[in-house]
Structure 1
Amino acid sequence: MTTVAFIGLGAMGYRMAAHLPQHFDSVLVWNRNVDKAKQHAAEFNTQAVTLAEAAQADIIFSCLPTSHQVDEIIHQVDIKSGAIWIDCTSGVPDIARTQATYLKSKNVSFLDAPVSGQTIGAENATLTFMVGGDAEVFDKALPAMQALGKLIKHVGGSGAGFAVKAVNNMLLAVHLCAAAEGFTTLKAHGVNLNEALDCINASSGKSGVTENVLSQRIFNRSFPNTFALLLLAKDTGIALDLVRDAKLSAPVIALSQSLIQAASATSDADSDFSAAVKMYESWSKITLE
């Protein structure tokens, strides 16, 4: 029998962990807020446990806001020898490599396995996993990830998963900034935004932002908080660090990162990433609706 633990029951983790009891006999959950873990256990037939108990599982998932928080937990518990730690955090590639080396000395395998698909993907178990680490460990851990995701790819060695996720979210930021500017321009010229959106989504200018974010979050002014703007700002910073580490020139990435950082700095701490367009609206005095 394989025991699986899930550490971190935030907006994504809470929904992800809910699928595990359908595939494993013993599913342990831990959260800093103990009541939330108990609520999950009552709702999904998992077991709310201490952090020390979670660390004794055969497979350990973690999904926390930052790599630093994961690192703190890794260094404060005795992890079961032979376990596989799968970190679904949108983390820092260098920290993943350090964590993999440290855990290997404890006979624990580590995969950096961030996910994409937002809360709807977590709820429907259709997430995309981009996984870095040893290929043999990936093969062993694949069934556990298949319980949570639809597309699961091994993209390279330790840190590669975090790198792909950072670039993915950087592209999200680029598309969001470009869409905000483009549709502000259209409205300034009296164009019907909803009709224009239909045209663009049937044309070469479409993106995930135009196909999903504009109509479902911005034009209807709902801005549902499923992925924090603060976390997008963090991820764009990781992507820009990757550019600098490679000594590359990436002016679009650099500018978009600055814009997202500025939007985050001028927004409420719990703002959804889509609320970044409000910065553009404050500049232009044009509302995208």
Structure 2
Amino acid sequence: MARIAFIGLGIMGSPMAVHFHNAGHQVVGYNRTPAKTKALVEAGGTAAASVSEAVADADVVALMVTDTPDVVEVLTGAGGVFETAKPGTLIIDFSTIRPDVTADLAAQARSRGLRMVDAPVSGGEVGAQNATLSIMVGGTEEDFAAARPFLEVVGKTIVHVGPSGSGQTVKAANQLIVAGHLAVLAEAIVFLEAYGVDVSAALDVLGGGLARSAIMEHKAELMRRRSFTPGFRLDLHHKDLGIVTTAAREAGVVIPVAAAAAQLIAAARANGDGDLDHSALFRTIARLSGRD
């Protein structure tokens, strides 16, 4: 069993850290908001007062933090992972950040005798709680092989997709697809309601045909009931679409549907919905028809 430092114990990170503890690993967690270490401590894990304290003597360092600057700070800042981790430590970054920054950080890690894989996840809070996440992994074959036993503790679908940064690229594509699905699902529900259709029955039959998707399965009922308790915050999806649009521009790829979805999500944030679940994009779509 390994000693794991888990940095970032929010909606996703907290249940993932608990899964590692329950699998028999020694887990030391750190979060900028100390209260968020509660679930791990109650499960039998340990809370650290700093990144350096958590990382000291760790075999594996797992990150699940919000954005690119957060990962950079945790890894390269004073008292951070690069400064503190012992040679050979395996870094698994579950965060969703820019692919180019990930590739650079992985190169820095190698120069310091550390190993690093980018392993962003899909599946949301439910997937984290149930250990059924889909994990797209970038890094060397050797580092992926070393990381896989740990990834299997929290994930169900685990795929090595290429060198460092590739996991983040695939995650960006995932967030593009999810945003598009959320937008068209919201439009469909507004359309059905406008005609007085039994929306629940309509969604049942649509879910049995080609329109079926995981987004419909998990988000349609939330939209129908206007229940937007955050599982994945709209603010975070806004951040992710910024990654998508920037990376697409750098690659010379035109993504008009993603651009439209990004603008709709930006409008939802501007209307104060950023802390709601990303299914709350429905509210913006409905407002466009005066039906919120």
Partners of 1:264 and 1:276 within 8 A in 2: no
Cα drift, residue 41 of structure 1: 4.2
When the two chains are superposed, the root-mean-square deviation of aligned CA atoms in Å is 1.4
2:170 corresponds to which residue?
164
Task: Show CA shifts across 1:144-202 (max 9, x none).
Answer: 11111111111111111111111111111101111111221222222221111111101
TM-score (norm. length: structure 2): 0.93
2:41 corresponds to which residue?
42
Give the match's secondary structure for 1:53. Answer: helix
Give, as a single letter, the amino acid of the residue that structure 1 aligns with 2:13: G
Distance in 2, matches of 1:147 and 1:207, equals 26
1:137 corresponds to which residue?
143
Distance in 1, matches of 2:94 and 2:231, equals 16
Cα drift, residue 265 of structure 1: 2.1
Paired residues, number:
285
Aligned with 2:113 (options 107, 110, 121): 107
Give, as a single letter, the amino acid of the residue that structure 2 aligns with 1:70: V
Give the match's secondary structure for 1:18. Answer: helix
The runs of 5 or more residues in structure 1 that have no matched partner are none
Distance in 2, matches of 1:89 and 1:48, equals 20
Cα drift, residue 70 of structure 1: 1.1
Within the alignment, does 1:261 sit opposite 2:266 as a pair? yes
Distance in 2, matches of 1:105 and 1:269, equals 39
1:117 corresponds to which residue?
123
Partners of 1:7 and 1:63 within 8 A in 2: yes
Where in structure 2 are the equivalents of 1:84-99 lying within 5 Å?
A: 84-99=90-105
Aligned with 1:204 (options 207, 210, 213): 210
2:290 corresponds to which residue?
285
Give the match's secondary structure for 2:225. Answer: coil
Distance in 2, matches of 1:40 and 1:175, equals 33
Within the alignment, does 1:67 sit opposite 2:68 as a pair? yes
Distance in 2, matches of 1:235 and 1:30, equals 24
Give the match's secondary structure for 1:4. Answer: strand
Give the match's secondary structure for 1:120. Answer: helix
2:246 corresponds to which residue?
241
Cα drift, residue 35 of structure 1: 3.3
Distance in 2, matches of 1:133 and 1:206, equals 33
Distance in 1, matches of 2:172 and 2:263, equals 15
Cα drift, residue 134 of structure 1: 1.0
Partners of 1:3 and 1:24 within 8 A in 2: no
Give, as a single letter, the amino acid of the residue that structure 1 aligns with 2:147: A
TM-score (norm. length: structure 1): 0.94
Within the alignment, does 1:155 sit opposite 2:157 as a pair? no
Partners of 2:10 and 2:36 within 8 A in 1: no
2:195 corresponds to which residue?
189
Cα drift, residue 239 of structure 1: 1.3
Partners of 2:189 and 2:224 within 8 A in 1: no
Partners of 1:3 and 1:25 within 8 A in 2: yes
Give, as a single letter, the amino acid of the residue that structure 2 aligns with 1:213: K
Give, as a single letter, the amino acid of the residue that structure 1 aligns with 2:34: V
Distance in 2, matches of 1:48 and 1:225, equals 25
Cα drift, residue 142 of structure 1: 0.7
The runs of 5 or more residues in structure 2 that have no matched partner are none
2:21 corresponds to which residue?
21
Give the match's secondary structure for 2:86. Answer: coil
2:52 corresponds to which residue?
52
2:4 corresponds to which residue?
4
Distance in 2, matches of 1:82 and 1:144, equals 16
